[in-house]
Structure 1
């Protein structure tokens, strides 16, 4: 299962889902689904999101066995 820190990273920067979505070129719904663990991003999208926060991908996304 994929876990993300997207919601807390956004909140810490005062960013909403729409702003993040625009910055990485996806719909707001995609960001919402990522935050809820309902969507696994492509490698490019994961890297783009991590880049917005200035973090390595592994600090934003984590896979766990479930």
Structure 2
């Protein structure tokens, strides 16, 4: 599942290591690595990550086709 977890984690606002994010969410660093690489995760984890970053999970996680559609819309608006 495509997502922007790595982008958010490394953003100026959060600036976290994978280990720090994993500790905050109560999971292993390996779980964060998997999620950032687009691996599947549970609905509970999607909600936890959304809550942690104070965002709607739909703003963080998306299906590839949706991502491409959004990018095309953004480009055409420019």
Instruction: Indicate the TM-score class for this superposition, using the shorter chain for normalisation.
Output: 0.7 to 0.9
Alignment coverage as a number of residue pairs: 63
Q: Which structure would you say has the larger RCO, counting Cα contacts within 8 Å and 6 or more residues apart?
A: 1
The CA RMSD measured in Å over matched residues stands at 1.0
* Runs (4+) off by over 4 Å: none
> Deviations for 1:47-66, whole angstroms, at most 9, x for unmatched residues?
0011110000001100125x
Q: Runs of 5+ in structure 1 lacking a partner?
A: none
The structure in which a higher percent of residues are helix is 2
Structure whose alpha-carbon radius of gyration is higher: 2
* TM-score normalised to structure 2 length: 0.75
